[in-house]
Amino acid sequence: MDLLQAATEVRERAWVPYSRFKVGAAIRATSGKVYVGCNVENVAYPEGTCAEAGAIAAMCAGGDYSIAEVFVIADSPDPVPCCGGCRQKIAEFAAPDVRVTMATTDGKTRSVTVADLLPGVFSASHMDRA
């Protein structure tokens, strides 16, 4: 499955009554399966949950725990960056060289590696003395 198509389709199902800013994400797991997520807002948490976090949760629920590729899309002037929390979540499940592509609905894209997206990532190795 094409990640651009998957992220674009799921973006339309975002629940964004406050911001009206729809974001879609698609993740290809190392198994080859594709998982999707969209942002969701609610009155108690109007900034909502992120599309990438939703896709990662779906991936885990599907029994996969390793990311091969990430794609994120939004209707914005420039490719929408992943938030800090999602950057850390992506880094938990992806190798540093995994590609993350951020896109706009009008075709602009920017691809970076996980290492570029989150330099100096906190990892389990930081807790070796615990």
Annotated binding site, which residues? 39-45, 50, 83, 86
Residue identified by tokens 């797991």 is 29
Residue stretches of the annotated binding site for Zn(2+): 50, 83, 86
In 2-114, the DSSP E strands lie at 23-29, 34-38, 40-42, 45-49, 67-74, 94-104, 109-113
Residue 47 known to be catalytic: no
Q: Is 50 exposed, middle or buried (CB count within 10 Å of its CB: 0-12, 13-18, 19+)?
A: buried
Residues marked as binding for substrate?
39-45
Cross-strand partners of 113: 99
Residue 60 is which amino acid? C
Residues 6+ apart with CB under 8 A from 98: 67, 68, 69, 70, 90, 113, 114
Active-site hit among 9, 52, 69, 92? 52
Active site residue ranges = 52
